[in-house]
Amino acid sequence: MSGHANASPLIAIPGADPKLYNRDLAPVAPGGRTWGIFDIFAMWMSDVHSVGGYTFAASLFFLGLTGWEVLLAMAIGITAVYFLMNLIGGPSLKYGTPFPVVARMSFGVMGANLAASLRGIVGIVWYGVQTFFASKAVQVLVLTFYPAAEGLTHSSFLGLSALGWFSFLFMWLFQLLIFLNGMETIRKFIDFCGPAVYLVMFALAIWILAQTGLSSLSLQLATHVEGSAIGQMANAAMLIVAYFAALLLNFGDFARFAENERAMKFGNFLGLPVNFIVFAIITVIVTAGTVKVFGEAIMDPVSIVERIGNPWVVGLGAVTFIVATMGINIVANFVSPAYDISNLYPEKIDFRLGGLITSILSVLVCPWIFVSSPQAITVFVGVFGAALGPMFGIMIADYYVVKRQQVILEDLYTMSKDGSLHFQGGWNTRALIALAIAGSISIGLSLLGAYGVIIHVGDWGWLIGAALGALLYTALMRNLKAPSLSRSGATA
């Protein structure tokens, strides 16, 4: 599949091996870096402003902490995410390369396929899940304006009704048409998504306050718990870090298009600490207001607009949160597996074909069955989620400690045994050993805790895995010299 209608200017790599190189994996030239501060900011709005993001933000206020304790924990957690995102975005910003190519720096030119595959699997599964959640909003929309369609909800095929299949396939196709147009179209789309959701959220908050008065303004949705609040706050902060665990690997897929370091960092600052906390405050005001308006705390914004009763309000709310879900699907669950799959076979698979394969695989996952099984979710998150932390630790330690931010650009695209990233047949066995040990411990702690065998470490598993991965990798690589600065010869 070919075609790059809005392709970015690239840096040519003379003698690049076709097994490692195509237009989508090539470094973006300075002229192709069009993402400014607002684009990065909007990207994070699209990631946070979703039904899942709404529910997650509201849930933090049910931890039994005071409102101010939750806000402090949020500030700490999201600030940590901000600095970690800047770290993982650094190599992509400098060299213009996506996540799977950056992974070659630490795992080797072939070993990066393992890291990319693990991240790709996570993205594919959650892509299907988010598409399914968005399809539920489509179903609400259809039933609101065409009640006779209720008859289509009684049949069932592979776990979905006829209307369910129509809604899911509609969302699947609608997203695919946008995604296949490339990263520039994606940039324009997410520039719209985040701000659009803000408008509806502010309107919803105003409507809630108009019904309840200022008395509904509350930042505490649960009774304060006995005991140390410090531990609960620390857990809340780590919960936020874990929420962004997937993008803490592949943020480079977007950072490579940033105009400069200032655009990336300031866009991250507005999109993460500032945006996340503001959105959380709006969320909790709305959720607190639903207690007085509807008699219970409703954490699903689609359900809130559905209960308002006005079909046009329901329609506007459903469309908005459909768009919001598409936004997070682009940012967190589509771009990464599209690049990751392309990295497996660059000669035949480009970004667009990788995206098409991602979409097809997301249907085969049968996400509606997956989300109905708490055990399946527990195992999936435990096994794959806990592996993301060690990969992050290894990549950060490699780039900033072992290589001291010095990488030979051409060696990212060569199979030559003389290449500094060839290691052993293209695989850095030291990185694989560090990943296996740190990942086993991280996954083991996560699963044993989830099933009550040991004390549940919760979302600290990500931090434990990242720290172990970084320490083990640094120790294993201590006798190797960092490569010299990039060779000359690459041209724009």
Q: What is the pLDDT of residues 341-382, one digit of tens each?
A: 999 999 999 988 998 999 999 988 888 887 777 666 656 766
pLDDT-based confidence at residue 246 (cuts at 50, 70, 90) = confident
Residue type, 409: L
In the chain, % of residues over pLDDT 90: 39
What pLDDT was estimated at residue 213?
A: 76
Among the ranges given (26-35, 59-68, 281-290), the one the predictor scored with the smallest mean pLDDT:
59-68
What pLDDT was estimated at residue 486?
A: 44
What pLDDT was estimated at residue 5?
A: 43
Q: Is the dihedral of CA 167, 169, 175, 181 positive or negative?
A: negative
What pLDDT was estimated at residue 1?
A: 35
Among the ranges given (75-84, 146-155, 407-416, 476-485), the one the predictor scored with the smallest mean pLDDT:
476-485
Is pLDDT at 236 greater than 50 in this prediction?
yes
Average pLDDT, the chain: 84
Q: What is the mean pLDDT of residues 417-435?
A: 94
What pLDDT was estimated at residue 7?
A: 61
What pLDDT was estimated at residue 180?
A: 78
CB neighbour list of residue 138: distance below 8 Å, 6 or more residues apart: 167, 170, 171, 318, 322
Among the ranges given (321-330, 370-379, 445-454, 480-489), the one the predictor scored with the smallest mean pLDDT:
480-489
What pLDDT was estimated at residue 65?
A: 77
What pLDDT was estimated at residue 257?
A: 94
Among the ranges given (19-28, 96-105, 133-142), the one the predictor scored with the smallest mean pLDDT:
133-142
CA distance 397 to 477: 10
pLDDT-based confidence at residue 222 (cuts at 50, 70, 90) = low
Q: What is the mean pLDDT of residues 119-136?
A: 87
Among the ranges given (147-151, 175-179, 225-229, 257-261), the one the predictor scored with the smallest mean pLDDT:
225-229
Q: What is the mean pLDDT of residues 85-97?
A: 97
Q: What is the mean pLDDT of residues 246-275?
A: 95
Is pLDDT at 488 greater than 50 in this prediction?
no
pLDDT-based confidence at residue 182 (cuts at 50, 70, 90) = confident
Is pLDDT at 317 greater than 60 in this prediction?
yes
